[in-house]
Amino acid sequence: MEPRVVERIIDEASRFWTFSNDIEITLEANPSSVEAARFTGYRSAGVNRVSIGVQALNDTDLRRLGRMHSAREAMAAIRTAQSIFDRYSFDLIYARQDQSISDWESELRIALSFSADHISLYQLTIEPGTIFGERHAMKLLRGLPADDLSADMYTLTQYLCEDAGMPAYEISNHAKIGEESRHNQVYWNCGDFAGIGPGAHGRLTSANGVRSATNCVASPDAWLKRAEAVGGAEEPREILSSGDQADEFLIMGLRLSNGINIMRYEMLAGRRLSAETVYQLVQLKHIEIAHGNLRATSSGRLILNAIIGALAA
């Protein structure tokens, strides 16, 4: 988007919501040289934080991931963000094809040397219905690390980031104290957020307490045509039951280092957590309870899906 378009969107949003004095306005950007050159314009438009989709710091893996930028462009974009914005973030994917643990350590150390206040580090996962999923089914994704190596990479990531003063506040997100992403915390704490653009999802609670899941038409062209014709492109809303909300709260909240408030979960679920399950997980040192919160331990985060399944049963 051109900076003038970003400015108009922010101005329009300010007509409908009251902005706080310290509002966080994040723009996600691709690290191409064209977008990096626009960063000054984005800052003038009102953006005060950028998140750059770097993904990898070598050209071979960028091509494998289907990215259009080079490692040189990615690092140039990070340096440009440093010079223009007080707050910025970028992301990397690890457990890639033919990646050794020493490869990942070298790459992560380079990433941490940029002194960003926030960094997102995602383990490559193969999802059904995606291009990567199709390639994997056809045995075209050779060299993916075994589970044990992926786990070692995750453990190394935690160690290096903590040593750099950027502990994980969420399973894939690291930040200096006080620099955690505010909009991400809304999602993980199951707050309200409006999804407006093409393919955008949202969660909204009405004045009478009914919580709904929203989503918009995915195709940008179709979204624009409907928005121009009827003033919006939102699909029919889905009302979320208390059980649905409890499941989302458990799934999202246990990703956070602080975990979930037990009382809030039990009120949504309409039931108590299984004392036997909780006791077993505590004894195995996969979870811990403190100040009314239940959180996954460092070992528990390695098997988080299994823990969520056990607690939700």
What's the rounded mean pLDDT across residues 157-169? 96
State how far the Cα of 277 lies from the Cα of 274, in Å rounded to an integer. 5
The pLDDT of residue 35 is 79
Q: Does any domain span residue 249?
A: no
pLDDT of 132: 64
Domain match, 266 and 224 both:
no
- The number of domains in the chain is 3
| 115/262 Cα distance (integer angstroms) | 36
Q: What's the CA gap between 97 and 146, in Å, rounded?
A: 10
In a domain, 244, yes or no: no
pLDDT at 34 over 90: no
CB 308 within 8 A of CB 171: no
Mark whether 226 and 95 lie in a shared domain.
Answer: no
Q: Which has the higher per-residue pLDDT, 137 or 174?
A: 174
Cα separation of 233 and 77, whole Å?
33
| Residue 36: per-residue pLDDT | 81
Confidence of residue 71 (pLDDT cuts 50, 70, 90): very high
Q: Quick check: helix, strand or coil at residue 140?
A: coil
**Mind listing the pLDDT tens digit for each residue in 227-260?**
999 989 999 999 999 999 999 999 999 999 999 9
pLDDT at 55: 94
pLDDT at 167: 96
Q: What's the pLDDT at 1?
A: 86
Task: Decide which of 278 and 137 is more confident.
Answer: 278
Same-domain check for residues 147 and 7: yes
User: In a 3-state reduction of DSSP, which class is residue 6?
Assistant: helix
247 within a domain of the structure (yes/no): no
Say yes or no: 164 and 231 in one domain.
Answer: no
The tokens describing 224, both together, are 């624009």
Last residue of a domain, one of 155, 181, 207: 181
My answer on whether 12 and 142 are in the same domain is yes
pLDDT of 165 higher than 80: yes
Q: Specify whether the CB–CB gap between 226 and 217 falls below 8 A.
A: yes
pLDDT (0 to 100) of residue 267? 95
Q: What is the mean pLDDT of residues 31-56?
A: 91
Indicate if 46 and 159 belong to the same structural domain: yes
pLDDT tens-place string over residues 104-148: 999 999 999 998 999 999 998 877 776 666 666 666 667 788 889
Residues 195 and 73 grouped into a single domain: no
Long-range contacts: 34-42, Cβ < 8 Å, 24+? Answer: 35/77, 36/73, 36/76, 36/77, 36/80, 36/81, 37/80, 38/2, 38/3, 39/80, 39/81, 39/84, 39/85, 40/84, 41/2, 41/3, 41/4, 41/6, 42/3, 42/6
Edge-first strand listing for the sheet containing 293-296: 260-261, 293-296, 287-290
| Residue 141 sits in the same domain as residue 170 | yes
Structure tokens at 305: 């899906």
Same domain, 288 and 203: no
Which residue range(s) make up the domain with 16?
A: 3-181
Q: 252 lies in a domain?
A: no
Q: Is residue 92 part of a domain?
A: yes
Q: What is the pLDDT of residue 283?
A: 97
pTM of the model: 0.91
The predicted model gives 150-175 an average pLDDT of 96
Q: Is 114 part of any domain?
A: yes
Task: Identify the domain boundary among 131, 160, 181.
Answer: 181
Q: In the listed set 181, 205, 224, which residue is the last one of a domain according to the structure? A: 181
- State the average pLDDT for the chain: 93
pLDDT given for residue 33 in this prediction: 75
Number of H helices, E strands in the chain: 15, 12
CATH number where 58 lies: 3.30.750.200
Q: Is residue 195 part of a domain?
A: yes
10 and 123 share a domain? yes
The average pLDDT across 8-35 equals 92
Counting residues of the chain whose pLDDT is more than 70, the rounded percentage is 96
Measuring CA to CA, how many Å separate 12 from each of 5, 15, 83, 291? 11, 5, 28, 41
Domain identity same for 11 and 40 = yes
Query: What is the DSSP secondary structure assignment for residue 50, as one 8-state letter?
Result: E
Whether residues 152 and 277 fall in one domain: no
What per-residue confidence (pLDDT) applies to 183? 93
In a domain, 213, yes or no: yes
Is pLDDT of 80 > 90? yes
**pLDDT of residue 189 exceeding 70:** yes
